[in-house]
Amino acid sequence: MLLDLGIFYQIDHRLIAVAMLAALLGASEIGYRLGSARVDTPDSLRTLMSGTGAATLGLLGLLLGFALSMAIARWDLRRDVIVEEANAIGTLFLRAGLVEQPLRAELQGALLAYTDARIALGGSRSDPDTLRAARLESQALHGRIWSVVERANQPPTMNATLSALIGAANQLIDLHELRLASIENRLPPALFLLLLAVASLAVSFLAWSFGAALHRGRTPMLLLALLIGAVLLLIMDVNRPQRGRIEVGVAPLERVGRSLSAPSP
């Protein structure tokens, strides 16, 4: 079913782009031809159709604005989660220096591997196998990290140190699910279908008015259809963090990875 979230977002974005542009251009052409066939239409009806098209276009602009703001808000949330995750990794790495060897080296090594796994999670893009492998590796490293924290619960370790270590480890593990949820938090496909339907109606109404008024040029309608299609594609691209061209990026994780890998002074 097309309205299913998983199926819709597995479709290639280029195919969706072609389908949307074809629908808009087709609505424009159909509206123009229907209007051309009614050249004897009274002026009052042409005015009504033109006004209806303008009102529909205004409604479309409102819906596009809301949809774009919702998509950008989700994009910002994904970026913020990555920054929080990078900070959590760095904090736990520093607190790992408070425990004795060999637990210190084991925990810091696990965090280095965990950073690489989180970077791979962001770079999985449209490859579901890479995404699944990065997720499973992260979950396995959670157990390894927590095992070190449990073994640090020994008499030589002060309660304050152990409490700080547990809090940092808990935050790191909690951010894993938050990051996955942010990746899956996308606009419903029904919203895009509604936007496409309203856009097609607006374009067809205006094209009908052009045809009925014997305007021979189709260029304004074609340009309007292309402009609306470009805005729809922008919203969809921002809303598809694993497939679109506007990606969130994992620069904070890459920076913390280089910091952790740098030799201690």
Lookup: tokens for 258: 């280089």
What is the per-residue pLDDT across 179-200, written as a single tens digit (0 to 9) for each? Answer: 888 887 888 888 888 999 999 9
Closest CA relative to residue 109, chosen from 120, 94, 93: 93
Residue 134: burial class (beta carbons within 10 Å; 0-12, 13-18, 19+): buried
Residue scoring higher pLDDT (17 or 31): 31
Which percentage of the chain shows pLDDT scores above 90? 22
Lookup: tokens for 167: 């809090």
- Tell me, what's the pLDDT at 39? 66
What is the per-residue pLDDT across 78-133, written as a single tens digit (0 to 9) for each? Answer: 899 999 999 999 999 988 888 888 888 999 999 999 998 888 887 655 566 777 88
Name residue 136's amino acid: L
The label of the residue with tokens 């620069």 reads 251
Distance of CA 26 to the CA centre of its chain: 29
Question: Domain coordinates of the chain in residue numbers?
Answer: 44-261
Name residue 92's amino acid: L
CA triplet 118, 101, 109: central angle to 5 degrees? 15
Lookup: tokens for 156: 């030589």
Residue scoring higher pLDDT (214 or 171): 171
Handedness of CA 84, 89, 90, 91 (dihedral sign): positive
Other CB atoms within 10 A of residue 246 CB: 14
Handedness of CA 16, 21, 26, 28 (dihedral sign): positive
Name residue 48's amino acid: L
Q: How confident is the model at residue 1 (pLDDT cuts 50, 70, 90)?
A: very low
DSSP assignment of 244-257 equals: SSS----HHHHHHH
The label of the residue with tokens 């990746």 reads 183
256-264, long-range: CB < 8 A, 24+ apart = 256/86, 256/87, 256/89, 256/90, 256/115, 257/112, 257/115, 257/116, 257/119, 259/90, 260/89, 260/90, 260/93, 260/108, 260/111, 260/112, 260/115, 261/112
